[in-house]
Amino acid sequence: MIKKLIIILSIISTCMCQFSEVEITLDMRSVKKHNHFIINDFKEEIKRYIENTIFSQSDTDLEIPLNIHVIIESVSEKGAFKTLSTQFFINSWDLKVFSRSATIPYYKGKSMALTGNFEPTSSIFDYFAYIFLANELDGWSPLGGSEFFNKAEKIALNGKESDYPNGWENRLKKCKKIMENEYLRKFRYHWYEINDAIINNTQIDIEDENLIDITNLLSELENDIYYLQEFYPNDRNAFLFLDRYANEIAELFGKMKMYDTLILLSNYDADNSSIYNEFIK
């Protein structure tokens, strides 16, 4: 009976996961070999925790992939715990987060669980999970991830006041920076909405009256680009997003004869200017 219950709970957890294909790599060059077995155990616990934890009851089956690169700078003793000094590089489809100076207590066999209170080991992964969950939900509705950006911000504030404050001030700033750039957040939403509209219409024909929704969305997208250039000229996440979709965006604006927008993009996103210029006639 107990085995059946475990299997059922495992199936439910898998079906409701927010994160899938969590790939974790470790840089342990600065760690003495006798501590490697502890850190390898920690690696498996991170993967288990992120993949199996339901961070939002109402947003299931998202299956967001995550690549997490962890640099272990040092391992020290603190009571019964080992204290890991780490850096994190985390990325998904269209967002990258770098976090330095994270201090994490850990011992072999320690497990993590989602809690409403600040917990120095699990809370940093809750922080990352909420940011990437928020970023994903921004693509589903305008500013749809705000609730989870706020959760990440709260964790960072609590972290600053905890016994392990190292790096939380910087993580708070990063969260605020992503959350406050509403032009990029709306840009992502409008772009994904346009793609859905194009798929539903199967093709682009500028003479087709049924494309009025796409035209309106393109106008919104154009405004987002203008304000990004005006207020966030050096936002790395904006350029990451454009790197991913530059060809598709340029082709669409070219077909819709929105050449002024292509010029705007060419000036803003210099690394991909040749792509935008190719569609300017």
The residues, any chain, with a CB within 8 Å of residue 155's CB and separated by 6 or more, are 118, 123, 126, 127, 130
Rounded percentage of the chain residues whose pLDDT exceeds 90: 73
Q: What is the pLDDT of residues 76-100, one digit of tens each?
A: 987 778 999 999 999 998 999 999 8
Check if the beta carbon of residue 171 is closer than 8 Å to that of residue 104: no
Beta carbons of 130 and 112 less than 8 angstroms apart: no
| Helix 182-201 vs helix 236-255: crossing angle, to nearest 10 | 30
**Taking the model in full, what pTM does it have?**
0.89
Percent of the chain scoring above 70 in pLDDT:
90
How far apart are alpha carbons 226 and 232 in whole angstroms? 10
Instruction: Count other Cβ atoms within 10 Å, centred on residue 9.
Output: 11
Instruction: Determine the pLDDT at residue 209.
Output: 53
